[in-house]
Structure 1
Amino acid sequence: MEQHVHREHEGEALTHAAQETLKRSGEQWTAMRESVFTALAGFDRPASAYDVAESVSNLQGRRVAANSVYRILDLFVQSNLARRVESENAYIANAHPDCLHDCIFLVCDVCGRTTHIDDDVVTQDVRAAAWKAGFTPKRPVIEVRGICADCT
């Protein structure tokens, strides 16, 4: 099984990598976008836009609308700063925003923790199957539901 090799960022290095990636995509790194990214990166499991809005609101001492957060999260997904966990209708910060590839999510049904793994062979096979069926794949979403090692 071929694994994608990349460097995962944490803390300030992650924020810096996200900022640089967003700027390279032609977007601005605003204070609000930084607040949303910092809040999202602070969660240890997928967070909804409402979770992020509440976190940013608490940090800023003023109400931040979930609609504003949704728009920023959509931009983050488009720019590879975050990934959407479809089955949870939630988001996770991408620990390697400077590396574009498809992710496979492992979602624990007990604790909700979501881990992503990279396996380019699997995702290339999914894309090839889509092409073979006459379908132009945009972004494969692969999620595996189960129980993580900590909850087993």
Structure 2
Amino acid sequence: MATAHDHHIHEGESLASAAQRAFERAGEQWTPMRAQIYAALSAADRPASAYDLAEAVSKSTGRRVAANSVYRILDVFVSKNLARRVESANAYIVNAHPDCQHDCIFLVCDACGRVNHVDDDSLSGAVRRSAEKAGFSQLRPVIEVRGCCADCADGDMA
């Protein structure tokens, strides 16, 4: 069974607004620091670590931001569906559709480091069912496929 609904992929200001609305609906406050961390994360063209984001926000604000503060914010973002953690990279990406809850399948390019995500409820559903049969509960499937993205593969062909 594929995704049961269509969802809107947000970009730019639309993404920031959708994230803020979803965050506030979840009972969280959209503070200036959270907004700055989110802006830095959404501007990243590949998964960003807490250290990457702390450095970016420190440069943009002119004041030092500690990575441990960024980790706490990222944990809240992940728990509220605003960001996803790419486990193998120990880094984060924004969720471009924060109003939808899906298990993401990450396609990680070993050449350039970019990550694309695919929503495939049939695959993640099968993983959930198998885990539940084995007695696991409160599941959060993490599926990462490593390889070479189309852009990098085209570069190899030249």
Map Cα deviations across residues 3-26 of structure 1 (whole Å, 9 max, x no partner): 463110011110000001110111
User: Any stretches of 5+ residues in structure 2 without a counterpart?
Assistant: 154-158
Q: Which whole-Å CA distance do the structure 2 matches of 1:127 and 1:137 have between them?
A: 10
Q: Which runs of 4+ in 1 moved over 6 A?
A: none
- Which residue of 1 is the match for residue 2 of structure 2? 2
Distance 1:135 1:90 in 2: 26
The equivalent residue for 2:64 is 63
Q: Write the deviation string for residues 36-80 of structure 1: whole angstroms up to 9, x where unpaired.
A: 000000001100000000000010011100011000000000000
* TM-score, L = length of structure 2: 0.93
Whole-angstrom CA distance in 1 between matches of 2:151 and 2:58: 32
Paired position in structure 2 for 1:109? 110
In the alignment, the residues of structure 1 paired with residue 15 and residue 122 of structure 2 have an alpha-carbon distance, to the nearest angstrom, of 27
| C-alpha deviation, 1:137, in angstroms | 4.0
- Residues 1:12 and 2:13 are matched in the alignment: yes
RMSD: 1.0
Specify the code of the residue in structure 2 equivalent to 1:42. Answer: A
1:150 & 1:126 partners in 2: Cα distance? 29
Give the counterpart letter for 1:78 in structure 2.
Answer: S
SS in 2 for 1:150: helix
- Identical positions, percent: 66
User: What is the aligned partner in structure 1 of residue 156 from structure 2?
Assistant: none
| Pairs within 5 Å for 1:70-109 | 70-109=71-110
Give the match's secondary structure for 1:134.
coil
Structure with the higher fraction of residues in helix conformation: 2
How many residue pairs match? The answer is 152
